[in-house]
Amino acid sequence: MLKNFQNKYDPDQDEVEDQFPVRNASREKRYNKAHRKVDQSKQQALKAQAQQLHEQSDQQETQFEFTYLASRHEREWIVNSLGNFYQEHWLKDVLRLVKGGKEAHVYQCLAPDQRSSEANPYLAAKVYRPRMFRNLRNDKLYRQGRANLDSDGREIIDDRMLHAIQKRTRFGMQLLHTSWVEHEVKALQTLHQAGADVPEVYASGHNAILMSYIGGPDMAAPTLNTVELEPDEARPLFARLVRNLEIMLAHQLVHGDFSAYNVLYWEGEITIIDFPQVIHPEKNRQAFRIFERDVTRLCEYFSNQGVVCQPRQLAADLWTAYNYRLRPEIDPALLDADDPEDRAAWQRNASR
């Protein structure tokens, strides 16, 4: 009888603590219970968000039908990256895969009538691979001295976001991925406005860049490394590309992966592509070495086309013509005032 009475009228210990917290109750127990509630609420929020994204993807996929026959995973990737551009009438069809790469795929798309011209009714969509599938081993080399950009191309100054980047959390890695894309967008916009031979950017966002398409209806422009130039066009094209290097230096940009593999050739004209790794010539301590490598790769191709060039001398001449130092400035914050070798290095740098 007494036992039944106690079971009926003795509330559960957790209920008592919820209603009347006991002062000498275990702090760890109270914390764990609160923490458990927070975790549950987070899980519910994440599930709701995932369900919402899944429903949006299904809705977009239902509305966004395209000609290109993609695998199931690639189709979902295209829909998630280009679906909003379709909704906003930037494109009306995805026709074919132009280029597949470790970092991004490029698709030939058909523009809506109001955005197309008789000369070129197409545009190119560069869709970056999801961050977890990218295979870039040397991101750090190119990120040195670069600001981290948000999805609007503005420098990130929010402490929470910067902390996430520093700690390389999942959110921080997504921010770095977005910054990588936005650096390409800004470089293309700057160089196109300056008259360089680069694609024109029409729109960007959602892990993709829409830009001008180079090529014909049934074949995109090949990369220069696959082309055997006529003797009378090799030297003028080489001079044209050197001029583009000068335009980049004038706007404080170094391509970072410049070679015949990243130059399109179509009907005697060239277009330079792939700028996400672009660096600042004064803020990256390896900038001149990277620039020298760019020039060397360019000269390797044109040497095989009969153009005589000296890459190291050409790189140094171009670099110093725009008042950049062949040796980077030494950051005093990296030196030890008590180390004789560091003091000597600082004195040598100051005397140059």
Q: For 81-101, what is each residue's pLDDT tens digit?
A: 999 999 999 999 999 999 998
* Domain residue spans of the chain: 63-212, 224-331
pLDDT of residue 101: 85
Per CATH, which fold does 224-331 belong to?
Answer: Transferase(Phosphotransferase); domain 1 (1.10.510)
Strands 122-128 and 208-212, sheet pairing? antiparallel
State the pTM of this model: 0.75
Residue 350 has pLDDT above 90, yes or no: no
Residue 244 structure tokens: 């583009």
What value does the mean pLDDT of the chain take?
83
pLDDT of residue 19: 43
Give the helix/strand (H/E) hosting 202.
Answer: strand 201-205
Length of the chain as a residue count: 352
User: 121-125, 136-140, 146-150, 224-228 — which is least confidently predicted?
Assistant: 136-140
What is the arithmetic mean of pLDDT over 14-18? 41
- Per-residue pLDDT band for 17 (boundaries 50, 70, 90) equals very low
Give the helix ranges, DSSP H, for 133-216: 139-143, 159-167, 170-193
- Per-residue pLDDT band for 346 (boundaries 50, 70, 90) equals low
The three state secondary structure string of 275-303 is: CCCCECCCCCCCHHHHHHHHHHHHHHHHH
- Per-residue pLDDT band for 8 (boundaries 50, 70, 90) equals very low
Residue 265 has pLDDT above 50, yes or no: yes
CATH superfamily of 63-212: Phosphorylase Kinase; domain 1 (3.30.200.20)
Half-sphere exposure of 42 (CA within 13 A, CB side): 6
Beta-carbon count within 10 A of 216 CB: 13
Residue 7 has pLDDT above 50, yes or no: no
Give residue 23's region: left, alpha or beta (phi > 0; psi -120 to 50): alpha
Residue with tokens 């830009």: 211
Reduce the DSSP state of residue 130 to 3 states and report it. coil
Across the beta sheet with 208-212, the strand order is 93-100, 104-110, 122-128, 208-212, 201-205
User: 2-11, 60-69, 289-298 — which is least confidently predicted?
Assistant: 2-11
What Cα–Cα distance (Å) separates residue 302 from each residue in 196, 238, 305, 310? 20, 7, 5, 11
- 145 DSSP assignment: T
Beta-carbon count within 10 A of 330 CB: 15
Reduce the DSSP state of residue 215 to 3 states and report it. strand
What is the arithmetic mean of pLDDT over 288-294? 97
Residue 154 structure tokens: 């503005």
